Chains A and B, each alone.
Chain A
């Protein structure tokens, strides 16, 4: 299943200039392969993407798998949760936390992590990679 890219053009709303961005949707896994209220790691060529199924909120998130603190491929193994209402993940190594929605580091001044859009269609989870 790896690397099966679905090409699709989607329009990002919210900007006046109707910017057209092409998003390649990577078929990551089936819903039942994802971990409820936790993460799995998705391979995309050389890249590693952490995919989170926040079952409690019925939300999906995807971020880079590498924790910027000590450059560890670990975020998919982190605990997820929320701070006020912000969904977040805590790195298993030193518990630095990052917002799942914006990627911003919520503890200290580690740099932010990359985030990706996610969609589910017919039981398959897709991660959006901007082309």
Chain B
């Protein structure tokens, strides 16, 4: 039997979705699609990202080969121009005709362009297709000022795009007395307006544009109140107009204000013709959002494939968006007013937050609401409203957040949702669907959920809630949300450390082969490399471990903005001879480096090309310098104050001790960087109490402090032991560091490690000073091993031709430097260029 033939007119978002849905249900139809645009259906919802670097291909909803794979015939650049419903034929401009058994209109809508004199002038645009955006961005290059007519959702988005294109003077012109008149109320509009004004947008309300002035191209707008606004370009975003012209021409019923009239099965008045998406008029309404369009596609696909009786029953028009960084959301019955409901309003002009919820008069149910400035509660509120979940005793807490600090409501709400609650409205995924992806298909992260269910792949607004649901379901299943490293290693860092130690493994690949699975990633590679370095202290770039290093370790230097590197030679204790200072100066001059005294009492040379690094280090090493490990999770600096050799208050020789300590622990790798300092007396000029381990001289010896930290959460170090002689002080530090290296989580400084330790500093003191774990001798021996294994890794690197070879930018032009690295002058030295933007 010959297959029945379906013709789809329009290859937009909904037309595409219809094909996808139909093909997933049946292959018993021939499918032909006509698209007027020159390219495959693309994501119009995220159209503006085209201005942020996404290409048309990135926005495309399918791969190029998809239509072939699905055996769908797609004609692009081919509008359908006429239809003969008696003969069931459609016609294209080249005169060809095609037969159909069923016809699906998915012609979407066009921008509505009001009749304003001069609207045809150059510099006037609409905002709907990729072609529109190309025109706008070309014209914007020579424009300084712009305006958008229309203060609705799309208008605000267009205004943001103009700002992103560099037109900082952009005005929004709205005919109504408020912004987004369909979504938010006057008070919400006021709040939004003041936020947008803060961002530099000009907002003109109650303005009726009467004339577009200019010769050939636009120069100004004239309003009905006779005021003017000079602009170089204009984007019209005054609403949408359903593309029903073809339907009308072939005698299908259309609405008085446009739209192809359909019933709950999306059937027009012709039983073989459907209409879906933005061209369809259901119950007197055009649904200008993607989620209802997809639902309509589902209805028709089910109908055709399964003869199912799924129907379209209207759709929730709740929306949440981030406009120019401002959250705006409306849900449910957003405009209902007293006395039909009671409203609770929260307004914070200082932070620019406005929230309104409408509750039923009996206080039991949430009907709808509006959120501006902070829409974090949107998903939960929407669910509460659409699922008729009884409100808590104090519904105001839904928008105020319960101030008792009890976090109960976040997941507390989730269990109350029925399984049928729609979580992802774009793809129509329910709570039940997401939970079963976790329980039946073992999804344990968002990416897997997206793959299994498609939830979160549309507008993305539901992702926070999907994540909460996933974690909630995992917990409910008794799945222990374990602190494992990543998908490649099912161990915590400490477990892995012990296993690598016991099995004496020395390369990343061996660790992965024997203890992990898959190919590794940017999380486990540096972590395992750090464990290997902490355990064996071998040159980190050997045994194939080079590419398992964090980027800075791999090139033994910190990468800087732009792609150049910094060079930090070790200057133990901050002490340096004039001769060595001169060498640093000469090297910096020769290689054109920016020099700066660091906060760690040494000198940083910035702006080195990758291929210059070995040459620079060769010269420094010949002059007696060594690596400062500024790039490693390793000992950084041991700062010192000048101490008893010069200072009138000095009790001990803090500089000598700082140098001794720095030279002992240099190169030792740890879960995070470690810093130290030695002060000659309690005036503490070396700031030892802000270090991972700090030493302060006393009359009798040294006081040892541990687990201090600068950084964003400063914490003072705590006193571990007092009046130590130098040898004991070193022994305690050995034990302390080995304990830390063995047990800390990845990227955890000593302060955080101690904060998480049961028993705190008293427990730590017991372990280190009283040897309560009986590990002291072992740790001291291990530390001795690490100290003995020290080598300057830069020296090894420049002497090893295989490693040295890696320090070039181009593999096929090793002598050439990266031409994209650019510097500019500043105060007689150089600096990097700013990040390049679009």
Chains A and B form a bound pair: yes
Chain B stretch 443-461: residues in CB contact (< 8 A) with chain A: 447-448
Q: Chain A residues near B837 (CB, 8 Å)?
A: 71
Partner of B551, one of A15, A78, A112: A78
Tell me the nearest residue of chain B to A3, going by C-beta.
B812
Q: A1-B812, A81-B522 are in contact. Are A73 and B563 (CB under 8 A)?
A: yes
A92 x B525 contact (CB < 8 A): no
A29 x B811 contact (CB < 8 A): yes
A16 to chain B, nearest CB (A): 6
Q: A36-B544, A111-B55 are in contact. Are A41 and B836 (CB under 8 A)?
A: no
Q: Chain A residues near B552 (CB, 8 Å)?
A: 92
Chain A stretch 91-126: residues in CB contact (< 8 A) with chain B: 92-93, 95, 97, 106, 109-112
Q: A43-B812, A51-B811, A74-B563 are in contact. Are A87 and B519 (CB under 8 A)?
A: yes
B519 x A81 contact (CB < 8 A): yes
A2 x B813 contact (CB < 8 A): yes
A101 to B83: give the CA distance in the assembly, Å. 44
Q: Chain A residues near B519 (CB, 8 Å)?
A: 54, 56-57, 80-82, 87
A83 to B548: give the CA distance in the assembly, Å. 16
Tally inter-chain residue pairs, CB-CB below 8 A: 122
Chain A stretch 3-24: residues in CB contact (< 8 A) with chain B: 14-17
A73 x B547 contact (CB < 8 A): no
Cβ of B809 under 8 Å from chain A: yes
Tell me the nearest residue of chain A to B552, going by C-beta.
A92
Contact with A along B517-535 (1 / 0, CB 8 A): 0111110111000000000
A46 to chain B, nearest CB (A): 8
A48 to B448: give the CA distance in the assembly, Å. 33
Q: Chain A residues near B544 (CB, 8 Å)?
A: 36-37
Partner of B555, one of A2, A17, A42, A77: A77
A15 x B68 contact (CB < 8 A): yes
Cβ of A130 under 8 Å from chain B: no
A90 to B162: give the CA distance in the assembly, Å. 32
- Chain A residues within 8 Å of chain B by Cβ, number: 50
Q: Choose, from B11-19, B46-54, B256-264, B577-585, the stretch at the interface.
A: B46-54
Q: A28-B811, A73-B820 are in contact. Are A35 and B806 (CB under 8 A)?
A: yes
Tell me the nearest residue of chain A to B525, going by C-beta.
A79
Q: Chain B residues near A36 (CB, 8 Å)?
A: 544, 547
Cβ of B810 under 8 Å from chain A: yes
A82 x B522 contact (CB < 8 A): no
Which of B526, B555, B563 has the most C-beta atoms of chain A within 10 angstroms of its own C-beta?
A: B563
A81 x B810 contact (CB < 8 A): no
B68 x A16 contact (CB < 8 A): yes
Q: Chain A residues near B428 (CB, 8 Å)?
A: none
Tell me the nearest residue of chain A to B806, going by C-beta.
A35
Q: Chain B residues near A43 (CB, 8 Å)?
A: 810, 812-813, 816
A71 to B53: give the CA distance in the assembly, Å. 11
Tell me the nearest residue of chain B to A28, going by C-beta.
B812
Chain A stretch 37-52: residues in CB contact (< 8 A) with chain B: 37-38, 40-43, 48, 51
B525 x A81 contact (CB < 8 A): yes
A82 x B559 contact (CB < 8 A): no
B600 to chain A, nearest CB (A): 23
Partner of B65, one of A15, A80, A85: A15
Q: What 10 pairs across the A-B complex have the smallest Cβ distances?
A: A92-B551, A38-B547, A81-B521, A90-B522, A40-B811, A82-B519, A71-B836, A43-B810, A111-B54, A79-B522
B contact set with A: CB distance below 8 Å: 49, 52-55, 57-58, 65, 68, 447-448, 487-488, 509, 518-522, 524-526, 544, 546-548, 550-552, 554-555, 559, 561-563, 806, 809-813, 816, 818, 820-821, 835-837
Please name 6 pairs of A and B residues whose Cβ atoms are closer than 8 Å in the assembled complex, sorted by A.
A72-B563, A74-B559, A80-B519, A81-B524, A111-B55, A112-B54
